[in-house]
Amino acid sequence: MTEKELQQLISEMSLEEKVGQMVQRVASEMVSGAIVTGPEGTVETKKMSIGLIGSILNKTGAQTLHDLQKEFIEKHPHHIPLLFMYDVINGMDTIFPIPLAQGCAFSPEMAEECAAMARDEAVAKGLHVNFSPMLDLVRDPRWGRVMESTGEDPYLNGVLGRAMVRGYQKKGNMSACLKHFAGYGAPEGGRDYENVEISERTFREDYLPAYAAVVKEGCCMAMTSFNTWNRIPSTGNKWLIRKVLREEMGFEGVLISDFAAIDEMIRHGIAEDSREAAKLAIEAGVDIDMQSNAYMNHLVDLVRRGEVDEKLIDEAVMRILKLKNSLGLFENPYNGSPEDEKRLLLCQAHRNKARAAAAASFVLLKNEDLLPLKKEEKVAFIGPYVDNFKIHGSWTTLEHPENNVTVKQGVTEKTGACLSAKGAYVLDEGQKTRMFDPEERPVSEEELLREAVALAEKADKVVLCLGEHRHQTGEGGSRTSITLSKGQLRLLEEVAAVNKNIVSVVFSGRPVELKRVQALSQSLMMVWMPGTEGGNAIADVLYGDAVPQGKLSMTLPRSVGQVPMYYNCFRTGRPNPTGDRVGFIHGYIDESTKPLYPFGYGLSYTTFDYTPVSVDRTEMTKDRAVEAAVTVTNTGSFPGTETVQLYLQDVKGSVIRPLKMLRGFQKVSLQPGESRTVSFQITEDMLRFYDINMVYTSEPGLFRVYIGTDSDTQNAAEFTLTE
């Protein structure tokens, strides 16, 4: 339809119909009655027919959605199709590594390919909109949703977020949805839904850039966040939406609230009731109300009584109808088919990509010659993640975890056998997870331990497969302690007492505390939540058929007491270079200020040598860039892939500036002995920041350019930006 035809359609629609387009309900309500829970758990009668709404969430299946859509369109007064929306965070039926793991691959190409395959499966199942990518910057691993972010760096998150949007949207028929706008990743104390207390400068400098990058990529939808910023809930924050998102970032797409977030403004204490919440949200610029009763029960009345300008309704409805139009719904309201599902879901091509992506996302943190394993070695695989299907993370409503490949299956497939013992449960007795997903405990912990130690005693090496429960992260998955369970730590101690050759493989949705695991393991690798092909990918890396290449996308602290902790921090007036000096100096008396492993860190089976950074000039102007370069050599005996990282430091500014800022990275694959020169163009726009007057600009002065293997690199050169 043309815009003129859309305008005509809007002019013919009743006010109820128009408001209906702005209402999203869970699919289950399409069949249930009119009663829904209101704010504070009250029970309210819907004042709007479910036959007028504009979209539903939380239902998949081509045939189911076809049937639902057909019946809905026939009954709708203007036959306007529904949008079907869903959370396909790291895959639909084929599950890819969680986004935090994909961040560790530092590969926009891979992120785009995984997103494109997830899109194909989601479209096959009849969906139109994917509530992804999540662009929330994260610096506090206590927060459960770090698993859903690509990490702690604004630049990396923007690059990967753009790649995911391309993957979801480039073939058409599907819209991505950037979320959660904005700053949801900085809740005080890591407590989910908590207030966010950061300065506007920090907000703009660190938290907003990734959302802006994805808007620039053409993301068609955005979602508000549950949190407040500047003590205003995002869903009612007119400055954040109309000034920052729409005016500054140029977002012209549809803005949906997060789940029931409009009515949550009552509980936040800035709306007297659902009616006032509706007014706040529409005036702030929220187009669709996801599953609260505000728009459904009050928006028509607010317009009728002249308290809300109908123009605001028409603007929102136009954006919604434009989205439906851009997805071709008026010509074909049906995505996918049972045949597409049969052809695409969990197909071998998707499994192969999931396997390669998982292997690329693993981060090898330590390796004192135990890896790669040899097939002729007697290796005992011990731990609750050896024979565990639940390795797909918390944001997947996977009905069939048995489609996943366990470590035991992967190792058996590769070597013909897998000596194994469970050794411990994932959780301690009574330990909570965010969702009910209980762990059967048929055997006593003592019995599990005894069996495991006996096996460890007879093995050349032990691979300990440890980790968090998949529901110890995700929405509502915040923890005050980020350690492994006591049972697993006891297993580690008891096995280490009889066999020193320990390789620890850790499954988690967040950086976990690994000091003790690191001390007792000769080799240590983070595999996060690797998804459908996790077991095969782990076997590939352990036996050297894939060489580890991942780099931490989020700092791994020594202790939860250190968080929030991130690489792009500040020097302070009393720097502590070694991190563990005590006295009148930055830091603690009982812990270092250094992490266990820094952002950007990750080992290979080979080693890489870097030449000193060279620059083609030592003066930069706004019109003349500086080219910085290094030559990287594979100095080991394995082929390997290295992520060469470029960091900049503004040595002095009108406000304090971070020690380092990631401004580029390039992955190079090198054969043993091979060298490659890697160069980066540094331009003036990469030096800009919000100065003392909150003007986004660069300032003349001295800059350092670092190029190295992780954010700790001291391989640097200098240049000056002149006027």
Catalytic positions: 258
In the block, tokens 């479910």 appear at: 50
Q: Considering the complex, state which of residue 119 and residue 422 has its C-beta at the smaller distance from ligand GLC.
A: 119
Q: 127 to 186, contacts with ligand GLC by CB under 6 A?
A: 131, 179
- Pairwise CA distance, residues 226 & 222, whole Å: 13
Q: Considering the complex, state which of residue 131 and residue 543 has its C-beta at the smaller distance from ligand GLC.
A: 131
Q: Considering the complex, state which of residue 125 and residue 414 has its C-beta at the smaller distance from ligand GLC.
A: 125
Do 265 and 250 form a contact (C-beta atoms < 8 A)? no
In the block, tokens 């909150």 appear at: 694
**Token digits for 411?**
């190792």
Among 18, 81, 87, 540, binds ligand GLC (CB under 6 A): 87
CB of 524 to ligand GLC, least distance (A): 31
CB of 292 to ligand GLC, least distance (A): 12
Alpha-helical (H) ranges within 285-309 are 294, 300-304
- Pairwise CA distance, residues 291 & 28, whole Å: 12
- Contact between 258 and ligand GLC (CB under 6 A)? yes
CB of 617 to ligand GLC, least distance (A): 46
Among 475, 513, 533, 710, binds ligand GLC (CB under 6 A): 475
**Token digits for 685?**
């726009």
CB of 260 to ligand GLC, least distance (A): 8
Partner residues linked to 23 by β-bridges? 289
Q: Considering the complex, state which of residue 168 and residue 690 has its C-beta at the smaller distance from ligand GLC.
A: 168
- Pairwise CA distance, residues 672 & 519, whole Å: 30
Please state, in angstroms and as integers, the Cα–Cα distance from residue 136 to each residue in 207, 409, 717, following that order: 7, 35, 32
The number of C-alpha atoms within 13 Å of 364 and in the hemisphere containing its C-beta is: 28
CB of 475 to ligand GLC, least distance (A): 5
Do 298 and 274 form a contact (C-beta atoms < 8 A)? yes
- Pairwise CA distance, residues 671 & 605, whole Å: 12
| R_g of the chain, CA atoms, integer Å | 26
The alpha carbon of residue 273 and the mean position of all alpha carbons in its chain are separated, in whole angstroms, by: 33
Angle, CA of 473, 479 and 480, to the nearest 5°:
160
Q: Which residue's CB comes closest to ligand GLC?
A: 131
Q: 52 to 81, contacts with ligand GLC by CB under 6 A?
A: 57
Q: 51 by DSSP, 3-state: which?
A: helix
CB of 19 to ligand GLC, least distance (A): 21
What character string, x for contact with ligand GLC (CB under 6 A) and - otherwise, covers 92-131? ---------------------------------------x
- Pairwise CA distance, residues 242 & 116, whole Å: 31
Tally of residues, the chain:
723
The site that binds ligand GLC (CB under 6 A) totals a number of residues, namely 7
CB of 70 to ligand GLC, least distance (A): 25
End-to-end CA separation in angstroms for the chain: 51
Q: Considering the complex, state which of residue 223 and residue 506 has its C-beta at the smaller distance from ligand GLC.
A: 223
CB of 273 to ligand GLC, least distance (A): 22
Do 667 and 106 form a contact (C-beta atoms < 8 A)? yes
Do 268 and 234 form a contact (C-beta atoms < 8 A)? no
**Token digits for 37?**
């829970």
Q: 693 by DSSP, 3-state: which?
A: coil
- Pairwise CA distance, residues 144 & 434, whole Å: 9
- Pairwise CA distance, residues 138 & 186, whole Å: 6
CB of 179 to ligand GLC, least distance (A): 6
In the block, tokens 């590939």 appear at: 540
- Pairwise CA distance, residues 539 & 411, whole Å: 5
Is residue 676 packed enough to be buried (19+ CB in 10 Å), middle (13-18) or exposed (0-12)? middle
Do 163 and 108 form a contact (C-beta atoms < 8 A)? yes
C-beta neighbour count of 436 within 10 angstroms? 6
CB of 705 to ligand GLC, least distance (A): 37
Q: 311 to 370, contacts with ligand GLC by CB under 6 A?
A: none
CB of 165 to ligand GLC, least distance (A): 15
Q: Considering the complex, state which of residue 222 and residue 506 has its C-beta at the smaller distance from ligand GLC.
A: 222
CB of 129 to ligand GLC, least distance (A): 10
Q: 352 by DSSP, 3-state: which?
A: helix
Among 259, 605, 608, 689, binds ligand GLC (CB under 6 A): 259
Q: Of 86, 33, 76, 88, which Cα lies nearest the Cα of 56? A: 86
Q: 503 by DSSP, 3-state: which?
A: strand
The one-letter code for the residue type at 158 is: G
C-beta neighbour count of 31 within 10 angstroms? 8
Partner residues linked to 609 by β-bridges? 633
**Token digits for 14?**
């009743």
In the block, tokens 């698993």 appear at: 147
C-beta neighbour count of 366 within 10 angstroms? 19
Q: Considering the complex, state which of residue 222 and residue 613 has its C-beta at the smaller distance from ligand GLC.
A: 222
Do 375 and 544 form a contact (C-beta atoms < 8 A)? no
CB of 529 to ligand GLC, least distance (A): 17
Q: 368 to 397, contacts with ligand GLC by CB under 6 A?
A: none
The residues that touch ligand GLC, with contacts defined as CB under 6 A, are 57, 87, 131, 179, 258-259, 475
